[in-house]
Amino acid sequence: MNPPVLPGHPHIAYQGADLYLEGVRLADLASHFGTPLFVYSQAAMLAALSAYQRGFAGRDAQICYAMKANSSLAVLQLFAHQGCGFDIVSGGELERVLAAGGNPATVIFSGVGKTRAEMRRALDAGIGCFNVESEAELDVLNEVALAAGQRANISIRVNPDVDAKTHPYISTGLKDNKFGIPHDRAVAAYRHAAGLGGLRVAGIDCHIGSQITEAGPYLDAVDRILDLVEAIEAQGIAIRHLDFGGGLGIDYHGDIPPAADALWAQLLGRIDARGFGRRRLMIEPGRSLVGNAGVCLTQVLYLKPGEHKNFCVVDAAMNDLPRPAMYQAFHQIVPLATRAAAPATYDVVGPVCESGDWIGHDRSLAVQAGDLLAVLSAGAYCMSMSSNYNSRPRAAELLVDGTRVHVIRERETVADVFRHERLLAY
């Protein structure tokens, strides 16, 4: 049997019958560290980042990793070492950046529901900018900053009402989404912000969605945002930086998004043509930096034939890999060792007590109980969204650098899961 083709995964390949990530045989990692197990390629992350760096060569630009995609400390440390800033959406994410050695001055704080405590902590840490998402938030942040004797740098996240043509749960730029200030309210919001003593207007921000695979929505958003900048600056309010968010997709299942450098060549051409080429640029990629760098290794527990469906029951579940259950998302599933046997069609499912606990539908696999599988494109929105549902400990994480293997998160124990719970005192 010929090994499966793995498009979009240059750092994952079969050598003979065995699947390798960089220079490491994945079956050896599963045997030593157990399953479920997340394994990431450092080379894949750096290659994805280099495409953005090439795209912004010679520009005044800051790449801020959208860490909600994968917030493991070693991953943050890797990007900080490469000069990245960070896009955060909670106080907890700020603490992770600081623990990983990130520079708080390169942090952008996004999110629709920042608390006063989070605002104060971010001000005290010296973050670079708040992306403000409502007019009410402007007033609250102003109060917090004045009470702290500081001025908060702000950009307003504008909702440009652009369809990113992605899953509705990860679309963020339409007028019915909860994010940002409506396009037709933006100028008034900037006038209001400019009159508040605790705020300093720094820039403008938009983010239209995630897993975007076409350049068109980005180009539409650029034009609408630059129109607004002209209108805002006509009011005497300077906009020093332009933040176009992130959202570039990856190849999960034949999706062919533009390469980051090719995309930004188009966008910068549009920005230059409008006369804004010398402005400072901010972007916030997440999935496109880490998504295809990761795999989740899992073991086949049982094969369960049925009248209408055959089930391949594995030890990874929706608590480890929530994207299929949440978004009906596709992840390619391949064996760690190919076998010369006729394949059968299976639904690959986990052990969690939910019908929604599935990893893949109608997959052609030549497997038997005890075999090991790799769920590809698992570097983004898997571990960061994982849970302890059914009291399942979260998986371990490894980072591979060539032939070197680093344990970046130890496997949880059941005792870890309920460590902070307390029994009643009878």
Q: Residues with catalytic annotation?
A: 353
Q: Residue 165 and residue 210: Cα distance in Å, rounded? A: 9
Residues 168, 384, 253, 47, CA torsion sign: positive
The sheet carrying 24-25 orders its strands as 12-15, 18-21, 24-25
For residues 311 and 349, the answer to whether their CB atoms sit within 8 Å is: yes
Alpha-carbon separation of residue 97 from 75, 105, 114, 181, 382 (angstroms): 10, 11, 17, 27, 19
Q: Residue 126 and residue 103: Cα distance in Å, rounded? A: 9
Q: How many CB atoms lie within 10 A of CB 74?
A: 16
Alpha-carbon separation of residue 46 from 79, 285, 425 (angstroms): 8, 13, 52
- The DSSP 8-state label assigned to residue 337 in this structure reads B
For residues 312 and 366, the answer to whether their CB atoms sit within 8 Å is: no
Alpha-carbon separation of residue 344 from 69, 305, 368 (angstroms): 33, 10, 11
| Amino acid residing at 32 | H
For residues 93 and 71, the answer to whether their CB atoms sit within 8 Å is: yes
For residues 37 and 395, the answer to whether their CB atoms sit within 8 Å is: yes
Closest CA to 143 of 115, 183, 111, 178: 115
Longest dimension (CA), the chain: 73
